[in-house]
Amino acid sequence: MSITNKMLNKIDNDITNLKHSLHPESIDYWYKKIIDETIEIVPPWLVNKINVKQDLILPLKFNINISKRAVSYFMQVIDYNLEKMPYTTRLYFLKVQEIMSAEMDKSLV
């Protein structure tokens, strides 16, 4: 196999991986995993205060309804899982963390 073919195959694989990692099903999988792991570590009284719901019209949009007291646990679980995620999914969840941090900062003011 020539170097050009190897490079083209790598680019093709990278593009395929990027496309697959931004599918709503992939994001939904990671949200479920993060929620499940967060529920395992939060105090019992916060278990019912963590919900994520997928928007029916915009499938890559998820509405996060979480108690302020549970946010730090949620963020820790995201941090723990970032390395396991595909690249674009990781970027998505880094943005989620950024938005949540900004919202928490607003509530402190």
Mean pLDDT calculated for residue range 65-76 = 94
The alpha-helical segments, DSSP class H, found in the chain are 3-21, 24-41, 68-81, 87-108
**Nearest Cα residue to 32 out of 95, 83, 87, 77:** 77
Q: 101 vs 7, 52, 53, CA distance in Å?
A: 39, 17, 20
pLDDT at residue 1 in the model: 63
Question: Taking 80 as the threshold, does the pLDDT of residue 76 lie above it?
Answer: yes
The residue ranking higher by pLDDT, 4 or 32, is: 32
Phi, psi of 51 (to 5 degrees): -140, 140
Q: Which residues pair with 54 in a beta bridge?
A: 62
The residue ranking higher by pLDDT, 50 or 60, is: 50
CA 96 to chain centre: 7
Tens-place pLDDT, residues 11-30:
777 666 655 567 888 899 99
> What is d(CA 65, CA 102) in angstroms, rounded to the nearest whole number?
15
What pTM was estimated for this model as a whole? 0.77
Would you list the domain boundaries of the chain?
A: 22-108
The residue ranking higher by pLDDT, 22 or 51, is: 51
